[in-house]
Amino acid sequence: MSDTERQTATEPTVASRDDPLLRVEGLTKHFPNDEGFLSWLQLRPGDGDGLVDLGREWVRAVEDVSFEIYEGETLGLVGESGCGKSTLARTILQLIEPTDGSVYFRGEDLAAMDGETLRRNRRDIQMIFQDPQSSLDPRMKVGKIVEEPMRAHGMYDESGREARARELLSKVGLDPQHYNRYPHAFSGGQRQRINLARALSVNPDFVVCDEPVSALDVSIQAQVLNTMRELQAEFGLTYLFIAHDLSVIRHISDRVAVMYLGQLVELAEKEELFENPQHPYTRALLESIPVPDPRVEGTRGVLEGDVPSPIEPPSGCRFRTRCPELIAPSAFELTDEEWAQVRQFTRSVTRHSFELAGANAIRAEFFGPRLPDGEAGRIVSRAIDLLVDDRWDEAAALLTESFTDPSICARERPRYEVPAEYGSGRHVAECHRHREDGSGR
C-alpha cells in the first residue's frame, strides 16, 4: 500500500474507555486430533479441565485469551498463519462452540445463550470472510445475497429489502443497477464490497473482519480499507480486524493485539505497539516488514525454528522455543555470550540440525576456544560426549533438563502491564523480562 493511498483515509477516532462493547474472558478452544468414534465429545465449560480424557491428543488452537473492544474502535489482531486468529474469531461469534471461557456482548455472555437468543443477537454481530469468492453463492444474484441476512431476521418486506440492498450497494461503492448480476461478473475487490454490504444489511454494531483484504491486490486493498473506514464512521461500527499484514493493521487499527500459538502475547494502542514493542515476537514481526528501498540498511527479524505443535505447546511462555531473549536459569553464572552459545547449542541438538563430528569440532563450532566455566561447562561437555556416541536424544534431554526447563520462561506463563511511552492506554506484554523484581532482566 503506497503512502499516497494511506493518506486518503481519515485517521480513526479512538473510542472512549467506558464499558466495552465486547469482552472476552479466558476464551479457549480445543479440537480433538482425530476423526474417530466419539471425537466430537467434549465437556461443557466449568466441568474440570473442559476436556474428556479419552487418551487422545487435543489441538489447543486457542487458549485462555482475554481482551476488550470498545464501541467505535478497531482492534487489529495479527500473527503468523496458523496461530489461531480465525478460530478465535469464529469462537467469539459462537460459530464454533468454545471449550471454556466467556464472550460478553453488551454485558451478556454469548457462550451461555440458547440457540434462539443467540440467533437474535447475531443481528448485531456480523462477519466478513477472507475469500471474497467462496463466501458468495455463485447461484444467487447479488441483490438476493445482500438481502439474505435481512430475510433471515424478518426485516422489511420484499420491496423494503430490495430498496435497502440497492442503497447498500451504492454505499460500498457499487452500482445499484448491478443488483441482478451474479458474483462471477465482479472482480475480487468488488466481491468483497458485496460481502461488506451483506454484513451491513442488518445494521450491526460489531463486525469481525477475517483477513478481508488478504486475497486482493495491494491497490485494491487500499480502496476497500478506505471504504470500511468511511462506513465505520457513518454507521458507528466497531471492528475486530484480523490480518497477517502489519501495514494493513497499522492503516486501520486503533489498538493492536499480537497472537502466537493460540495466545495473545502483546496488546497496546497502535502507535505504542509499533514504536515501543515489548515482546520479542512482536519485534521480530515488525523487523520482518519488507523495506521498499533495498539500499536502506536495517535489521531483519529472522526467527529460528518452526512454530511448535499446538498439540503439545511449550510450557510457560509459548514463544520460548524460538525466543532470542530466553532468560538463563539462576543456577548458573553465565555471561550473555555464554548463555547465547548454550541456548544455540541446546536448540541445535534438539533439532538435530548439524552434522556430527569429533568432540573438538563440536566445541569449536558452538563455543569457540573454550566452554563455559563451572557446572554449565561440565554439562555441555557431557552432552558433547553423548553426541559423539550418536546418542542425540540423551544429549537433548540433558541440555533441556539442565538449561531450558529451570528457566522461568519454561515454568510460568508471563503476563505484565508495562509503562506506555506513546499515549496513555494500557500496554500488556507476556514476557518475563518485565518482572517487577528484576529477575527477568
Across 21-48, average pLDDT? 68
pLDDT in tens, 82-105: 899 999 999 999 999 999 999 999
Across 340-358, average pLDDT? 92
Query: Do the domain assignments include residue 118?
Result: yes
Q: Is residue 301 located within the same domain as residue 438?
A: yes
Whether the pLDDT of residue 288 is over 50: the answer is yes
List phi, psi (to 5°) of 365.
-65, -40
pLDDT for 46: 42
314 Cβ neighbours under 8 A, 6+ residues apart: 308, 320, 321, 410
Q: Is residue 304 located within the same domain as residue 423?
A: yes
Q: Is residue 240 located within the same domain as residue 375?
A: no
**Cα separations in angstroms, 323 against 407, 409, 410, 437:** 12, 10, 12, 21
The DSSP code sequence of 48-96 is TTSS--SS--EEEEEEEEEEEE-TT-EEEEE--TTSSHHHHHHHHTTSS
Band (pLDDT 50/70/90 cuts) for residue 215 is confident
317 Cβ neighbours under 8 A, 6+ residues apart: 323, 409, 410, 413, 414, 430, 431, 432
Q: Is residue 291 located within the same domain as residue 274?
A: yes
pLDDT for 8: 40
pLDDT for 441: 39
Band (pLDDT 50/70/90 cuts) for residue 134 is confident
Cβ atoms of 99 and 45 closer than 8 Å:
yes
**Mean pLDDT score of the chain:** 87
d(CA 254, CA 429): 17
Q: Is residue 110 located within the same domain as residue 244?
A: yes
d(CA 97, CA 108): 16
Query: Do the domain assignments include residue 431?
Result: yes
pLDDT for 44: 40
List phi, psi (to 5°) of 187.
-75, 170
List phi, psi (to 5°) of 412.
-135, 145
pLDDT for 119: 87
Query: Do the domain assignments include residue 210?
Result: no
- The total number of structural domains in the chain stands at 2
Q: Name the residue among 399, 398, 408 with its Cα closest to residue 439.
A: 408
Query: Do the domain assignments include residue 195?
Result: no
Query: Do the domain assignments include residue 389?
Result: yes
Q: Which three cell numbers stand for residue 129?
A: 470472510
Q: Which three cell numbers stand for residue 71?
A: 464501541
Q: Is residue 272 located within the same domain as residue 363?
A: no
Q: Name the residue among 60, 369, 75, 83 with its Cα closest to residue 239.
A: 75
Q: Is residue 246 located within the same domain as residue 377?
A: no
Q: Which residue has the higher pLDDT, 273 or 219?
A: 273
Region of 375 on the Ramachandran plot (φ > 0 left; ψ -120 to 50 alpha; else beta): alpha
Q: Is residue 347 located within the same domain as residue 421?
A: no
Q: Is residue 292 located within the same domain as residue 421?
A: yes
Band (pLDDT 50/70/90 cuts) for residue 24 is very high
Q: Is residue 310 located within the same domain as residue 422?
A: yes
Q: Is residue 41 located within the same domain as residue 108?
A: yes
CATH of the domain at 98: 3.40.50.300
Query: Do the domain assignments include residue 61?
Result: yes
Across 21-41, average pLDDT? 76
Range of the domain at 298: 17-124+234-315+414-441
Whether the pLDDT of residue 292 is over 80: the answer is no
Whether the pLDDT of residue 298 is over 70: the answer is no
Q: Is residue 247 located within the same domain as residue 367?
A: no
Query: Do the domain assignments include residue 402?
Result: yes
Query: Do the domain assignments include residue 188?
Result: no
